[in-house]
Amino acid sequence: MRETLVLNASFEPLSTVTLRRAVVLVLQGKAVVEQAHPELRVRAAAVELPVPRVIRLSRYVRVPFRRRAPWSRRGVLVRDRYQCAYCGRKATTVDHVVPRSRGGGDTWLNTVASCAEDNHRKADRTPEQAGMRLLRAPFAPSPSDALVLGLGGAGRQALPDWLPVPA
Ligand SMILES: [Zn+2]
């Protein structure tokens, strides 16, 4: 039974774990007891400690991407309605705003849909360096958008408000 609440180091609730797992985390110094059962004690190895009801991780952990849309090239094209972020014409490629050669990653905020010409013209430069302007800022789709992006070519009815019907 998962009976102990686990908080991130930042105090955000993360998940629940079994009492045994909670005790191990505390004994390993990976978590501290935030709230314990007022009476019960648990004996583990040679130590005894209060039964933790809430523990908090000693070090902050990044929450995995499970609730966010996973990045994909197709997802970027769908998000940007297949419109080039630089000229607004039909986009067939994905451009890295900060080029990968300069450390830019495959992330929602660093990628935009781009026509092949603009992508080629921009090459290994930032928009500033290339003298090109983004018509709109890239954004990370919300969790509910993720479903739609995952479906990609789903019916027009499925498209959320921010995703106008393609011409
Ligand atoms: Zn273009």
- Which residue range is the domain that position 17 belongs to? 3-57
Taking the centre of ligand 1 as the mean of its atom positions, its distance from the CA of residue 135, in whole angstroms, is 10
Mean pLDDT of 68-93: 89
Query: Does some domain include residue 47?
Result: yes
CA atoms within 13 A on the CB side of 6: 23
Taking the centre of ligand 1 as the mean of its atom positions, its distance from the CA of residue 148, in whole angstroms, is 25
pLDDT of residue 54: 83
Do both 143 and 84 map to the same domain?
yes
Taking the centre of ligand 1 as the mean of its atom positions, its distance from the CA of residue 123, in whole angstroms, is 13
Query: Does some domain include residue 159?
Result: no
Do both 77 and 132 map to the same domain?
yes
H-run or E-run covering 21? helix 19-27
Query: Does some domain include residue 156?
Result: no
Q: Say what the pTM is.
A: 0.51
Mean pLDDT of 17-40: 86
Evaluate the CA torsion angle 90, 94, 95, 98 in order and state its sign.
positive
Q: Which of 93-97, 106-110, 159-163 has the highest mean pLDDT?
A: 93-97
Higher model confidence: residue 55 or residue 160?
55
One-letter identity of residue 125: R
